[in-house]
Amino acid sequence: MQYARAKRFFQEAAEHLCCGSEDLRGRLRSLDPELFQFKASDIPDIKGLSIQLKELNELANSISEKHNEGSLAATFSSAQKGKLERIAKIIYSMDIALAKHA
């Protein structure tokens, strides 16, 4: 059940990142924070998804810890562009892998 939920969250996030009207920072700020709460046990370990999920969560947490903002939206407001781009790439890559794994 968690797999289907994670798949839907990553699909919606990737779609928003690709089609949103804001810049990358704005699109990341408006993502559902629950996206960053999934654990490796919530998804199948195909094509290194668990490693990507771990990296995604570590990136989000490292930004949060550094800036001590309290919410991901506020945290993404002050993050470096390179980290934001890496987060977006991981989300997109995970969406593709999850979509291929029916």
Q: Could you give the CA distance from residue 53 to residue 13 in angstroms, rounded to a whole number?
A: 14
Residue 102: is its pLDDT beyond 80?
A: no
Residue 67, pLDDT above cutoff 60: no
Which amino acid, one-letter code, is at 58? Answer: E
Domain definitions of the chain by residue range? 2-38+47-100
Q: What SS3 string covers the chain?
A: CHHHHHHHHHHHHHHHHHHCCCCHHHHHHCCCHHHHHCCHHHCCCCCCHHHHHHHHHHHHHHHHHHHCCCCHHHHHHCCCHHHHHHHHHHHHHHHHHHHHCC
Tokens of 70: 């309290």
Note the pLDDT tens digit of each residue in 11-45.
999 999 999 889 999 999 889 888 988 998 888 87
